């Protein structure tokens, strides 16, 4: 998910102005030591998510005796660098992208191996999560919260009216698409890749879905580091799979040009209309768990009540010839800049499977523990449970690739060239070669 990169905290049904809190002090009595010292945490999420996070910590503090203060800022990505280099780092920082975290490892970041039992902590996590921020054999970051993007949203009422059934395999998904097109029921897919200031990022997710599945976790990670090129057989195979779905004639209203100009947040609105092609009705949307916050208000109200009669999800099936069943997603990574008793306790709690049981998972309906054994009864949204099941059932978790690539590529040339490809302004080969050519030389 690229949204956290811009500091937007989007919940299932909650929006609000960004709550920018005061910066953290890493020295003096706020160092998180013994006695009444407060452990400080900095992060990018704000508003309702920050409130739910702090409330959970406050409830835990009453039991543990450790005071914790979370400071959220929508300028976290830049402010944390300034704080660390200026010697005012918080005890703990929560990073939405591994790249920024890794850039600060040499600036006094404490390996989590020195604070907690990493092996025990990640024992029940999906393959791939433990290694996101591992450098030279040391673990510098672990997720406290993850998000899942390998979900397909649909309208159960519309499916029923059209005589469609939820596909469980890739072959069934292909057959469903063919039926919608051949019978003129509407459009199989709702797709928009426009986003103010960041056009194209939704297409990177589509591509990542199939690079992960066809290549497996090892080759997926090699792609992130440029050992596997964009203009490689693997990435071409993934792109061609994307083409077979959303680029197929009649698959998306208006085709590639419409996808390139349609805002990603508005693309799903036509899941909730009737009238077939004449009304622009579409039946499926592959998108992350955050997308419910962009649905029409009446649908958001249904979600708040746990009503799934008009919106539900199923996992995107893996192709029959895939190397693995994978789940694509992102997460918020916990890193530490202090090594003392209270900091250890807080890191142990927020990276462990008990975090969320003191209210976070219930109050923040986009919350998702990285632990497969987390008590699902604590979740209030059916989509939290669906996302947890998708992670459990997959053999690998692929952390957003473009968020781990150099910024000039992952948030630059990949976005722009995939947008041009989508709009029909470049061929696939031209787009992939252009991205490879833009990779930094050192």
> Does position 430 have pLDDT exceeding 90, yes or no?
yes
pLDDT tens digit sequence for 218-243: 999 999 999 999 999 999 999 999 99
pLDDT at 22: 27
CATH of domain 3-148+329-399: 3.40.190.10
Higher pLDDT, 15 or 358: 358
Alpha helix stretches (DSSP H) within 306-427 = 341-350, 360-363, 382-393, 407-408, 414-422
pLDDT at 257: 98
Decide if 70 contacts 41 (C-beta within 8 A): yes
d(CA 183, CA 81): 55
Average pLDDT over residues 6-15: 34
pLDDT category at 3 given cuts 50, 70, 90 is low
d(CA 209, CA 96): 19
Q: Which helix (H) or strand (E) holds 56?
A: helix 47-64
Q: Are strands 92-95 and 187-189 parallel, antiparallel or unpaired?
A: unpaired
- For the chain, how many helices (H) and strands (E)? 16, 12
pLDDT tens digit sequence for 132-144: 999 999 999 999 9
**Domain 151-326+404-437 is of which CATH architecture?**
3-Layer(aba) Sandwich (3.40)
Closest by alpha carbon to 30, among 116, 89, 109? 89
pLDDT tens digit sequence for 43-68: 999 999 999 999 999 999 999 999 99
Closest by alpha carbon to 291, among 279, 282, 303? 303
pLDDT tens digit sequence for 345-378: 999 999 999 999 999 999 998 999 999 999 999 9
Q: What are the angstrom distances between the C-alpha of 13 and each of 49, 61, 374, 385? A: 11, 28, 23, 16
> Does position 12 have pLDDT exceeding 80, yes or no?
no
DSSP 3-state of 49? helix
Region(s) of the chain under CATH 3.40.190.10:
3-148+329-399, 151-326+404-437
pLDDT category at 272 given cuts 50, 70, 90 is very high
Q: Which helix (H) or strand (E) holds 72?
A: strand 67-72
Strand partners, 135: 138
Closest by alpha carbon to 401, among 316, 335, 330? 330
d(CA 289, CA 305): 17
pLDDT category at 124 given cuts 50, 70, 90 is very high
Average pLDDT over residues 256-278: 97
Of 166-170, 195-199, 201-205, give the lowest mean pLDDT range. 195-199
Decide if 204 contacts 432 (C-beta within 8 A): no
Q: What are the angstrom distances between the C-alpha of 53 and each of 353, 356, 401? A: 15, 8, 27
CA quadruple 21, 330, 379, 164: dihedral positive or negative? positive
Decide if 68 contacts 360 (C-beta within 8 A): no
pLDDT at 81: 95
Average pLDDT over residues 213-217: 97
pLDDT tens digit sequence for 148-167: 999 999 999 999 999 999 99
- Write down the pTM of the prediction: 0.89
pLDDT category at 19 given cuts 50, 70, 90 is very low
């Amino acid at each position: 998910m690229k949204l956290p990169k811009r500091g937007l905290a989007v919940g299932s049904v909650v929006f609000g102005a960004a709550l920018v809190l005061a910066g953290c002090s890493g020295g003096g009595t706020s160092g998180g030591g013994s006695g009444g010292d407060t452990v400080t945490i900095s992060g990018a999420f704000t508003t309702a998510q920050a409130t739910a996070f702090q409330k959970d910590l406050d409830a835990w503090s009453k039991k543990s005796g450790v005071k914790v203060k979370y400071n959220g800022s929508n300028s976290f990505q830049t402010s944390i660098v300034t704080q660390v280099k200026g010697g005012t780092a918080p005890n703990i920082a929560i990073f939405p992208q591994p790249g920024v975290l890794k850039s600060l490892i040499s600036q006094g970041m404490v390996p989590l191996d020195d604070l907690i039992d990493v092996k025990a902590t990640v024992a029940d996590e999906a393959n791939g999560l433990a290694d996101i921020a591992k450098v030279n054999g040391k673990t510098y970051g672990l997720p406290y919260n993850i998000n899942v993007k390998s979900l397909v949203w649909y309208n159960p009422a519309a499916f029923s009216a059209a005589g469609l059934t939820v596909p469980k395999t890739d072959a069934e998904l292909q057959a469903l698409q063919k039926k919608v097109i051949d019978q003129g029921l509407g459009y199989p897919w709702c797709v928009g890749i426009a986003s103010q200031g960041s056009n194209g990022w939704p297409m990177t997710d589509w591509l990542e879905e199939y690079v992960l599945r066809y290549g497996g976790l090892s080759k997926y990670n090699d792609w992130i580091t440029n050992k596997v090129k964009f203009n490689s057989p693997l990435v071409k195979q993934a792109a061609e799979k994307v083409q077979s779905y959303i680029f197929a004639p009649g698959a998306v209203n208006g085709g590639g040009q419409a996808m390139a100009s349609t805002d990603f947040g508005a693309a799903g609105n036509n899941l909730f209309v009737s009238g077939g092609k004449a009304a622009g009705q579409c039946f499926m949307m592959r998108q992350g768990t955050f997308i419910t916050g962009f649905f029409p208000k009446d649908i958001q109200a249904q979600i708040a009540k746990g009503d799934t009669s008009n919106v539900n999800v199923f996992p995107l099936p893996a192709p029959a010839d895939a190397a693995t069943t994978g789940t694509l997603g992102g997460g918020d990574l916990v890193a530490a800049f202090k090594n003392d008793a209270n900091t250890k306790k807080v890191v142990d709690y927020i990276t462990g499977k008990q975090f969320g049981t003191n209210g976070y998972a219930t109050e923040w309906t986009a919350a998702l523990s990285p632990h497969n054994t987390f008590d699902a009864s604590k979740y209030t949204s059916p989509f939290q449970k669906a996302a947890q099941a998708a992670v459990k059932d997959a053999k690998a978790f692929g952390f957003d690739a473009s968020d781990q690539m150099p910024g000039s590529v992952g948030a630059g040339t990949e976005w722009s060239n995939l947008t041009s490809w989508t709009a029909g302004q470049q061929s696939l080969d031209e787009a992939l070669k252009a991205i490879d050519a833009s990779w930094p030389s050192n």
